[in-house]
A and B are shown apart, each in its own frame.
Chain A
Amino acid sequence: MTGSHDRIVTVSMVSDTLPNVRFWVDRTLRTGVDHMLVFLDDHRPDVQAWLEQHPMVSVVHTDAAYWNHDRPTPLPDRQMVNANLSLAALAKVPSAGWLFHIDVDEALSFDRETFLELDPRAARFPTLEAVAKRRWRGGEPKYFKKQPRPEDLYALAGLGAIARPDLDAYFRGHHLGKTGVRPSPDVRFRVHSVYEHPDTKIETIIPPDMHLLHYASWCLDDFVDRWRDFRPEDAAGRPFRSKNIGTAFYTLRNHPAMSQAQRDEAVGELFDRNISDDIPLLRDFGLLVDNPLRLDQPARPMPREDVALLETRLKELLHVDKTPYKSQLLQVGRRTDGSR
């Protein structure tokens, strides 16, 4: 099949306000991404309308009909189905090059030209996590946290900066990164890796200097955004840390005995005690890297007929049975590269 096969495409599942979504879409399309697939996880007509008119975005509203009235409860399961469906939709689109699935609090940091030259079948971008601070001047975190070495973890744990010497205590979120892959109907995503259905490894390179930037609560405002809708009643079954922070947030934000200023300060303290990173410490141990985000790689729009083809394919797949698009869990004892 002829075609340029060189457009970088992302797929995301989104449930956020219009201002946030606009900011994120505009920014993503400056980082080297050429086209975005957005699956709306809930009913937001204003967001949907804006996305629908955007030439470099294709949007799907995943309502009950999309799920054939059998919507998977875990969020990652829905994300994977949407991402795998997108692989099928993009497979025959001539200009489609690679597909990454990313979240609203993530960005790809890479040099597009170099990536295109490498021309891999699949590539994993490891995580850099934003250093958390109450306020960063300029609206972007100045630093990101590198992957630590084991010695770093021991030192940080010994000094009380992290609770245990492991990656989960060091990173607020996941740390394995994300894998981008050439779209094909046989390929499936897992959270951090890709495989060929039913369970074959796909050779995946890890290009140098290319990362998945994870922002997650990088500043107080983002922290507040993230926890704003949390309800303690819905916390049952969540891991302790989420339940604890979420419940604390909810309680302090609505505390009957405090003024608004006192509530805000209490939430700020919650952020300080649980999220803020110790910047001088990280710097001393060589764990900081300057924010590598490139905003000078504008989107190269797909040809109009390719966008039309893509959106037609998406329409065709809208109400199919989603079962074949679920991700297979890793077999115990057989781990593909980069997967947990």
Chain B
Amino acid sequence: MSAPQGQVTPDRIVTATTLRDTPDNVDRFVRRTLGSGVDHAIVFLDADQPKVRAALEANPHVTVVRTGKDYWLGDRPSVVLDRQMANASVAAAALAEVPSVRWVFNIDGDEVLDIDRAALARIETDAVRLGTLEAVAKRKWRRSEPEMFKRVPSSNELHALSALKLIDAPEISAFFRGHSLGKVGVRPGADVRFRLHTAYRLPEVEIEETVQEDMHLLHLESWCLADFVSRWQGYRADRPKHRPHRDERLGAAYSLIDGDTSIGAAERDKRLGELFDRLVADDRAVLKRFDLQVRVRRREVAPRPLDRSDVAALEAALARIGAESKEGYRPTVLEAEQKAASAV
């Protein structure tokens, strides 16, 4: 092979996601991700789903990793959050061998990045932090993708909302359905490890971050009734989970209604709709009055393909790390962060 033609300036943006979902939902996730400015998506399949796998494998901008027995090697973390973080760390290490990749983000199946490629390319630090925006929830929107989002209010604003008895307590968990801590993107490295909302270098070295105010992590979960149904459909109330109290309660209500064989589909839909109205739908008048929502118009941006050699390098690295013990990729200091996540 001839010598490389000068230094490659890495600029590609890659996401790592652990997924287990219906083919339709996975398809939607991939379309959103690859239209958001992301160039390549690594999908770790959390369950054996041949149909989903086949669809993903057919996509040249997606690399699939199966995480079965041969991946976890008898040491599969029981909590899905732990699996997500381990997989994201695997991705960060594997991508170190792909010179064209500048950024790797760890995102969930119900998240999408709101980024600007040019701005990301200008960032000099090895990590970038994006704040969360949560989709405003309403039964039905005119558009087929969410455009209105709630921003994270300040502590002062939370006090104002709670003193007016519009939320139960001056806490973000009383205003947001999900997390509000944001996500980081990081330059890939063999020693880079992800936690839920941060990244660090082994053994425990901070990575300098740029906080990018004008880019966001969009959390879409339950933005409309259909998405709400899709999200909760498979919820098993009896399986032990490490979920915040609100989720446990909502999941319990959902699963009891959904599993009620004594009512017909029409009544079930009516009740689920009412559950959505009571527990999920946002009060738009309040959001408007206190200026708590923002519109995010996402333009479709085509993914920039990775070179075939890069894809091959990525696949080889993933295969190699995939066959190794994941001990070194599992997150440490888990309890503290999990407690923080559960407090949400």
Contacts and interface: CB of A to CB of B under 8 A. Distances in A.
A–B interface present (Cβ within 8 A):
yes
Interface of A: 232, 243-245, 247-252, 255-258, 262, 266, 269-270, 273-274
A257 B291 CA distance: 6
Contacts of A269: 164
A255 B153 CA distance: 13
B156 interface: yes
Contacts of B155: 232, 247
The winner among A252, A256, A257 for most chain B CB atoms within 10 A is: A252
A248 B164 contact: yes
A248 B159 contact: yes
A273 B163 CA distance: 8
Contacts of B160: 247-248, 251-252, 255, 266, 270
A266 B290 CA distance: 10
A215 to B, nearest CB: 21
B170 interface: yes
B165 interface: yes
Contacts of A248: 159-160, 162-164
B300 interface: no
Contacts, number: 46
Contact of A244 (B163, B289, B290, B291): B163
A248 B167 CA distance: 13
A245 B159 CA distance: 7
Interface in B267-293: 289-291
Contacts of B156: 232, 247, 250-251
Given A255-B290, A257-B290, A257-B291, A266 B157 contact: no
- Give the size range of B's interface with the partner: 10 to 19
Given A251-B157, A257-B290, A266 B164 contact: yes
B162 A273 contact: no
A83 B280 CA distance: 56
Nearest to A253: B160
A135 to B, nearest CB: 20
Contacts of A247: 155-156, 159-160, 163, 170
6 contacts: A244-B159, A248-B160, A255-B160, A258-B291, A270-B163, A273-B164
A251 B157 CA distance: 6
Interface string B127-147: 000000000000000000000
B170 A244 contact: yes
A256 B291 contact: yes
A232 B290 CA distance: 18
The winner among A243, A244, A247, A250 for most chain B CB atoms within 10 A is: A247
Contacts of A257: 290-291
A258 B156 CA distance: 15
A224 to B, nearest CB: 14
B291 to A, nearest CB: 3
